[in-house]
Copies of this chain bind each other. A is one copy, B any other.
Amino acid sequence: MSSAASATKRYLIASVPKGEPSADTFKLEDTNLPAEVPEGQVRVRAVYVSVDPYLRGLIGRIGAGKPIVSGQVAEVVASKAAEYKQGDKVFFYGQWATEQIVDPKSADAKLKKIDPSLPPSAYLGVAGMPGATAYFGLHEVAQFKKGDIVLVSGAAGAVGSLVGQLAKRGGAKLVVGTAGGPEKCKRLVEHFGFDAAIDYKKFDTEEKVTEELKRLSPDGFDVYFDNTGGHVTDALLNVVRKFARLAICGSISVYNKDPREVKVPSPYPKVIYSSTTIRGFLVFDYAAKWDEFEKNVHPLVRDGKLKFDETVVEGFDKIPEAFAGLFHGKNTGKMVVKVA
């Protein structure tokens, strides 16, 4: 087949950045894929590649000289696996490569065909890992229940915007989101249906956010879904209600800093008097329950009942730039790169 002979390339980690990722963090490499697909495997061509904040930590754990891996939607161009045929659209975790060989049996790749009734790129957002992160984080980690007063940080992002909508659908008494800048804040309320939004760039200290949270909910907050860390998290701990539950999902505010340098006001005395639970999680902690997520959330996506934003950057050569842009709020909602 012609595709098997075409020139292919991929990104390697060039160096692990000390601070923010930059153009020098990755380098392109020509790849030589075998002319014949190995028995039981498939060859795929990337269509959409996901860039996500959590990859910042992954870079350090993978290390320089190796390929970075993220979620992507691809098309099967050649198959030696019975369950897949040329033209199938698939989701998997793989290298940032124009084409690659994938083993359907790999637990890391998690290759699967996607539901053609959903938009393909949704598998990188609302219908995929960010969606599952919102769903399990809210329901399993934060133990959300009807009537809760909820705060979501990073609420304009792929995960946060879903958390707010799921909480509203689930009967939250009040859902407040934080985001950077008046446009994102307006979008939270007018588009995603949050009850209120706080611009963390305007309310730029723990004290200011604390006062605003008290104004919005004098009774305090039951649930906090944290995508950012930073002064929003510090402020929330001043207004936790008895038995509050905090789902710690991300810390984008500190991903580019040396963790030993990041000091925060001690949460410990505060969590004692309020009997608060702070629980960190990774979405794959709930891998065994993925079917439950798809069963509950995919129909809402199909029927247009969950809104989601996508920022689509075009071009394989733009992946590093798109990734770096995450740390400057260049995205509204899920950031994906359209390759093909």
Q: Hey, which bits of chain A sit against chain B, CB under 8 A?
A: 57, 226, 229, 233, 243, 248-251, 254-255, 259-260, 262-282, 285
* Nearest neighbor of A243 in chain B, beta-carbon distance: B285
CA of A285 to CA of B250 in the docked complex: distance in angstroms?
Answer: 29
Q: What secondary structure prevails in chain A residues at the interface with B? A: mixed
A271 touches B278 (CB 8 A): yes
A278 touches B279 (CB 8 A): yes
Can you list 26 pairs linking A and B with CB atoms under 8 Å apart? Answer: A229-B268, A243-B285, A248-B268, A249-B272, A251-B269, A254-B266, A254-B268, A254-B269, A260-B265, A262-B269, A263-B263, A263-B264, A263-B265, A263-B266, A264-B267, A267-B267, A268-B280, A271-B278, A274-B280, A275-B279, A275-B280, A275-B281, A275-B282, A277-B278, A277-B279, A278-B279
A268 touches B251 (CB 8 A): yes
A279 touches B282 (CB 8 A): no
CA of A179 to CA of B57 in the docked complex: distance in angstroms?
Answer: 35
B272 touches A280 (CB 8 A): yes
User: What 6 A-B pairs come out closest when comparing CB atoms?
Assistant: A271-B280, A272-B280, A263-B263, A278-B278, A262-B266, A277-B279
Least CB distance from A248 to B in Å reads 5
